[in-house]
A and B are shown apart, each in its own frame.
Chain A
Amino acid sequence: MHEPGEVRIPIGPQHPALKEPESFLINLRGEKITSSSVRLGYNHRGIEKACEDRTYIQDLYLIERICGICSHSHSTCFVQAVEEIAGIDVPIRAKYIRTLIAELERIHSHLLWLGVAGHEIGFDTLLMYTWRDREIVMDLLALLTGNRVNYGINTIGGVRRDIKPEQKEEVIKGIDILEERTKYYIGLAQEESTILKRLKGVGVLSQEDAKKLGVVGPTARASGVERDTRRDDPYAAYGELDFKVITNKLCDVYGRTLVRLGELMESYSMVRQIIQKIPDGSISVKFLRKVPVGEAVSRYEAPRGEDFHYVRSNGTEKPDRVKVRAPTLANIQAVSKMLEDRYLADMPIVVAAIDPCFSCTDRLIAIRDLGRRGKNTVAWESIRLKGIEWYKKQGVDFTVLNKKLAELF
């Protein structure tokens, strides 16, 4: 469907500029994009169908694996729907713990995004900085849940792990460092010419188009659409927390960057409030394996926007239907609009700016030494030290650099 004088190029489903399988067909006139279309579905794994053959508890773990980054978003969204149908009253402490993990997840996701955005505009120093900082929040998540991703903290009726006073202290320590670093990034975003020149006016989506296309999350909020499920349709402990919904009317990739940076600061404040306010009490109630006939709609503000789950039960141990609409599906259709009349070179950052979801690898906190018999385990810290020693032998030594960095912050 391209006209004379136009060139059509396919980008994807496998392409170095894309971080996950998706396919764009782009029509070009010179360097400018005249129109584009997107083809999705390369990651379809049949999870909705698989849920119908499994019990609710099994589904919880399956649903958590929809995404490697917002795994807690999906599992919370799902348990909320099941709890609503089953009429389970979740203890308040459990709600606070869910909210705490949710905000830590948002922090790790936004820091990850900032790094990817830096990478896409050729500013790889930013990627190195933010992903180094992201390790702090990843360690906190591992400390609280035992896992870096796919936390497994949720269960139907509450959460599986309580938080201890000393863990609270660790969280506050980590958040203090991250807040300082984020202030530095906010300053950077306002002054650094690479960021300003590369992001301003790129990937424009007007407020009108954002509303019409039903975009969600930071993408919507940067186009002046003030929507946030945490405030509009409160769940977990959000009704008791004080926070601002960050918006601006810049309508471009730069605006989306500022929204995410602002949300990081709000998340730090929310984490502090949770640590301070979290009430004592039990962390879960008993869930009887069967769920009565019913249906429920659950919504959740994932780092990328509104996550939507619909669950329908038929009185057995297995659901009749589970429907998931992840935020990227609501956002991806706006990409064609954002690319219109823009340069081809802007395409990677425009796509990255909606923060499409891609899986990140899991790591282990303790591994068993398989070479020997018995219960020989290797602690996380010793693996780390081993790694540092190994690199030193190869001539790579970060000791001096680390000292300098510590003095900087």
Chain B
Amino acid sequence: MTEEEKIKQELEEGFAYLKDLVIIKRKGRIFADISLEKFAEVFDYSVKQMRFETISAITGIDTGNGFSVIYHLNREGKIMLNLKVDLSKEYPEVNTVTAYFPSADIYEREIVDLLGIKVNGLSEGNRYPLPDKWPKDEYPLRKDWKGISSKKEVQDA
């Protein structure tokens, strides 16, 4: 049994609802779809018990009828575990993972700024990457966003 298959088995045994939702795409690449309610426990288990102790990135996606957030974890730089959670269009909210990964801070600010996903528990701080005077409710990476009119454009640019 390969390392990837072991990880898949461990996740499916630990969390019955993950059956058939953990997919090994190729060597070193595992993807898993998790519902929002169960996300915290799977994430905690993956980081603490399964030693996926590094986060490479957090990707936010506008899927059209909602949002997805993917947490790209890796174990000793080798195997990548990509945990995906789907969010509704009305309440795009996730909890911060900065308690596990202090460096995830900037990745979370990025999905806040570009997609308008709310990250609960994220500390006060500088925004990233848009300018401070960027107009409210303008989220460039949303699919229906086609640019802003010159009137609303950033004042201090």
A: residues with CB less than 8 A from B are 37-41, 44, 46, 48-49, 84, 211-214, 227-229, 232-233, 295-297, 299, 306, 308, 310, 312, 320-321, 323, 325, 329-330, 332-334
Contacts and interface: CB of A to CB of B under 8 A. Distances in A.
B78 A214 contact: no
Interface in B28-56: 28-29, 31, 53-56
Nearest to A333: B103
Contacts of A333: 102-103, 105-106
A171 B130 CA distance: 43
B7 interface: no
Interface residues of B, number: 37
A213 B102 contact: yes
B96 interface: no
B77 A325 contact: no
13 contacts: A37-B125, A39-B128, A40-B106, A41-B128, A44-B130, A46-B140, A211-B54, A212-B103, A233-B77, A295-B31, A296-B25, A323-B59, A333-B105
Interface string B100-116: 01110111000000100
B72 A308 contact: yes
B30 to A, nearest CB: 10
Contact of A41 (B55, B70, B130): B130
Given A40-B128, A227-B77, A233 B57 contact: no
Interface in B46-81: 53-57, 59, 61-62, 70, 72, 76-78, 80
B14 interface: no
A308 B29 CA distance: 13
A214 B80 contact: no
A233 B79 CA distance: 8
- Counting from the closest, the 4 A-B pairs by CB-CB distance are A41-B129, A325-B57, A232-B77, A44-B129
Given A37-B126, A40-B129, A214-B54, A297 B61 contact: no
A380 B102 CA distance: 50
Contacts of B128: 39-41
Contacts of B129: 40-41, 44
Nearest to A295: B31
B116 to A, nearest CB: 14
Contact of B106 (A48, A308, A321, A329): A329
B80 A297 contact: yes
B108 to A, nearest CB: 12
Contact of B103 (A312, A323, A330): A330
Contact of B29 (A212, A297, A323): A297
B131 interface: yes
Contacts of A39: 126, 128
A38 B129 CA distance: 12
B56 A306 contact: yes
B57 A211 contact: no
Interface in B119-145: 125-131, 140-141, 145
Given A49-B141, A211-B54, 20 more contacts: A38-B126, A40-B106, A41-B130, A41-B131, A48-B114, A49-B140, A84-B25, A84-B26, A212-B102, A295-B31, A296-B25, A299-B80, A306-B56, A308-B56, A308-B72, A310-B57, A325-B57, A329-B106, A330-B103, A333-B103
Residue among A228, A297, A321 with the highest chain B CB neighbour number at 10 A: A297
Given A41-B128, A49-B141, A310-B59, A214 B77 contact: no
A42 to B, nearest CB: 8
B141 A299 contact: no
Given A39-B126, A213-B102, A229-B77, A308 B57 contact: yes
A46 B113 CA distance: 12
A312 B61 contact: yes
Interface string B73-93: 000111010100000000000
A290 to B, nearest CB: 19
Contacts of A214: 54-56, 101, 103
Contact of B53 (A48, A211, A297, A329): A211
A233 B28 contact: yes
B31 A232 contact: no
Nearest to B134: A41
Residue among B54, B107, B127, B141 with the highest chain A CB neighbour number at 10 A: B54
Contacts of A233: 28, 77-78, 80
